[in-house]
Amino acid sequence: MAENVEIIKGTSLGRDAWNRLLKNKLAVFGMIVLGIMVIAVIIGPSILYAITGFTAEAIPADGNLISSFPPTWQHPMGTDEAGRDLLARVLQGGRISLMVGIISTIVSLIVGVSYGAIAGYLGGRIDNLMMRIVDIIYAIPYILIVIVLLSFFGGPNTPKWITAMSDLFGGAGNAGVSQIFLLFFALGLVSWLTMARVVRGQILSLKNQEFVMAAKATGVSTPSIIFRHLVPNALGPVIVYATLTVPSVMLTEAFLSFLGLGVQAPYASWGSLCADGIKNIAIFPWQLIFPGVTMALTLFSLNFLGDGLRDALDPQTRKF
């Protein structure tokens, strides 16, 4: 009997959490700033180019070489040593920095969540083995791993699929961009470890819950139980951790760029801009201040957001 009854829309736990998040002023501030940043780095460079003709890489070919100029109306953030407009470089750098953060985090999510969920659910010796592997990799300094990965897979050895992806972004055959993508994956591959541990812990505590047993009693297969029942319920801490992984990866990349291992000229990331800026800090401080402050602002926002998410996703139920 198919009556046409009005179906009441439920409020999922996700919606509940979202509402709670919106009440957290710092988190909302973080979200807004982040939103502005993302929009700025996506469309900023093109708008800037349209208005002023400046790009991040182009060194003005005409004779009016204005290098290391302090901020003026023409160059709101000044110029760098080579005369490139700093605003354009900061925007371009933002693209790369944010992409590093996001793509690496996505990689670490995919690998970490699957690995941790499987280890946690299967338990026993398999879990033991899988987690000992994590422990071993954890013990190796990540810099070493990144350097090894970059040298091994760098240049002509870059796997085809990475080149393919980078072509989408930077234009075909652009070696520099594909190196950057390699960097994304390398960083993702070292940050999945803690994610795996976090997920495994969640799964361990969830798998003895009655709804998992109920799913088994209903005949649901093991992979479905893991990925349809357990993982969605483990997402709370995972989301929080992911939001905090992004800034962590960005800082790592900044550090690598500082060491000269990360993004190479003429490309820039916020980290490499800071690295360049430090050299002239006494004389041309704006070369460090602008990229530094921008990066710091973004990192703060991500942290506020992460904190806010942690509070929003962890409701305390009060019973009288």
Partner 1 sequence: MTETNGNSLLSIQNLQVHYKLGGGLFSSVKTVKAVDGVSLDIKKGETLGLVGESGCGKSTLGKAILRLTEPTGGKVLYGGRDLAHLPQSAMREQRKCLQMIFQDPYASLNPRMTVGNIIGEPIRTFKLAGDASVESRVQDLMETVGLSRRFIKRYPHEFSGGQRQRIGIARALAVNPDFIVADEPISALDVSIQAQIMNLMERLQAEKDLTYLFISHDLRAVRHLSDRVAVMYLGKIVELAESKDIYAGPLMPYTIALISAVPVPDPEIEARRERIILTGDVPSPINPPKGCHFHTRCQYAIPECKTIVPSLVEIKPRHKAACIRINSEHPHIEENAAAGLGAIGS
Partner 2 sequence: MSDHNGIILSVNDLKTYFQTEDGVVKAVDGITFTLEKGETLGIVGESGSGKSVTNLSVMRLIPEPPGKIVNGDIIFNGIDVRALSIEEVRKIRGKRIAMIFQDPMTSLNPFLKISTQLMEVTRLHLGHSKQQARAHALKMLKMVGIPDAESRLNNYPHEFSGGMRQRVMIAMALSCDPELLIADEPTTALDVTIQAQILELIKDLKERMGTSVILITHDLGVVAGMTEKIIVMYAGKVFEQAPTKELFSTPANPYTKGLLKSVPDPAHEQGAELYQIPGLPPDVAHLPPGCPFAERCDRAQDICRVEYPPFVQINENHHSLCHFAREVYAESIREGGVK
The residues with which 140 forms a beta bridge, in sequence order, are none
Nearer Cβ to partner 1 (46/222): 222
Q: Per CB under 8 A, which of residues 196..215 are in contact with partner 1?
A: 209-211, 213-215
Nearer Cβ to partner 1 (152/211): 211
Cβ pair 16, 315 in contact under 8 A: yes
Q: Which of 46, 67, 72, 221 binds partner 1 (CB under 8 A)?
A: 221
Name the packing angle between helices 270-279 and 231-259 (round to 10°): 30
CB of 205 to partner 1, least distance (A): 12
3-class DSSP string for 24-92: CHHHHHHHHHHHHHHHHHHHHHHHHHHHHCCCCCCCCCCCCCCCCCCCCCCCCCCECCCCCEHHHHHHH
By CB under 8 A, is residue 4 in contact with partner 1?
no
CB of 294 to partner 1, least distance (A): 37
Pick from 89, 263, 56, 94: nearest CA to 179? 263
DSSP conformation class of 172: T
Torsion on CA atoms 95, 98, 102, 103, rounded to nearest 10: 50
Residues of 17-49 as b/e, b for ≥16 C-beta within 10 angstroms? beebbeebeebeebbebbeebeebbeebbeebe
Q: Which of 61, 73, 219, 320 binds partner 2 (CB under 8 A)?
A: 320
By CB under 8 A, is residue 318 in contact with partner 1?
no
By CB under 8 A, is residue 318 in contact with partner 2?
yes
By CB under 8 A, is residue 126 in contact with partner 1?
no
By CB under 8 A, is residue 219 in contact with partner 1?
yes
Distance CA 76, CA 47 (A): 14
The item of partner 1, partner 2, none sharing an interface with residue 320, based on CB under 5 to 8 Å by kind, is partner 2
CB of 40 to partner 1, least distance (A): 35
Distance CA 74, CA 53 (A): 11
By CB under 8 A, is residue 229 in contact with partner 1?
yes
The item of partner 2, partner 1, none sharing an interface with residue 319, based on CB under 5 to 8 Å by kind, is partner 2
CB of 210 to partner 1, least distance (A): 4
The item of partner 1, partner 2, none sharing an interface with residue 40, based on CB under 5 to 8 Å by kind, is none
Cβ pair 83, 29 in contact under 8 A: no
Tokens of 71: 């901020």
Q: Which segment (49-57, 192-200, 226-234, 271-279) binds partner 1 by CB under 8 A?
A: 226-234
Site string for partner 1, 5-44 (x = CB under 8 A): xxxxxxxxxx-x----------------------------
Distance CA 245, CA 243 (A): 6
By CB under 8 A, is residue 220 in contact with partner 1?
yes
By CB under 8 A, is residue 233 in contact with partner 1?
yes
CB of 320 to partner 2, least distance (A): 4
Q: Which residues bind partner 2 (CB under 8 A)?
A: 318-320
Q: Which residues bind partner 1 (CB under 8 A)?
A: 1-3, 5-14, 16, 209-211, 213-221, 229, 232-233
